[in-house]
Amino acid sequence: MNLFICGSIKIKDKEWIFSKIEECIAEKNCTNVTILEGEARGVDLIAKEWALAHDIPVKEYPPDVQHYLHNACHKRNEDMTRNCDFALMLWNGKSYGTFDDIQLCEKYSKPYEICYYDLAEHMQKYLSLAMEKFKPKLADGPRELLDDIWEEAMKIRGRYTH
């Protein structure tokens, strides 16, 4: 199984990242795992560290800045999405890069799971509900759609807290 692990570059909590990778692999009964990672700081490099410590093969996708200039990271993530069997998104709910990966999974009909980091449980619920509402637009919407999703999450929150 090609497992694409990505997430916010600001997430550096190794223990949490390691636990989410291990939970994903156990829950999905993954065998013959190869980790696809994009060599970005944060989640990507920590996932690579976990894989190497567990003798799990890693397929690296460095951004090809020479050919794609400013789109190199998006192109790299698109390649990883196309080549994955499953994607694990370790997200703070704010990172546009990880949101792009979610959109790519929707575009290419790839299964994925989002694990929220440092986001209160009730906010995870509201954000998940808002994401579900916008799901039909995720595959081809602009990255600014994330702002609309958060606005919807706050509306949902308001309905639950009154």
Angle CA 72–74–77, to nearest 5: 110
Is the CATH number of domain 2-119 3.40.50.450?
yes
Q: Are 80 and 57 in contact (CB under 8 A)?
A: no
Break the chain into its structural domains and give their ranges: 2-119, 121-162
Burial tier of 74 (Cβ tally within 10 Å: 0-12, 13-18, 19+) = middle
pLDDT at 162: 59
Going through the chain in order, the beta strands assigned E by DSSP cover 2-7, 34-37, 58-60, 86-91, 112-116
pLDDT digits (tens, 9 = 90+) for 71-80: 888 899 999 9
Q: Is the model's pLDDT at 160 over the cut of 90?
A: no
pLDDT digits (tens, 9 = 90+) for 38-71: 888 999 999 999 999 999 999 999 887 777 777 8
- From CA 104, how far away is CA 96, in angstroms rounded? 12
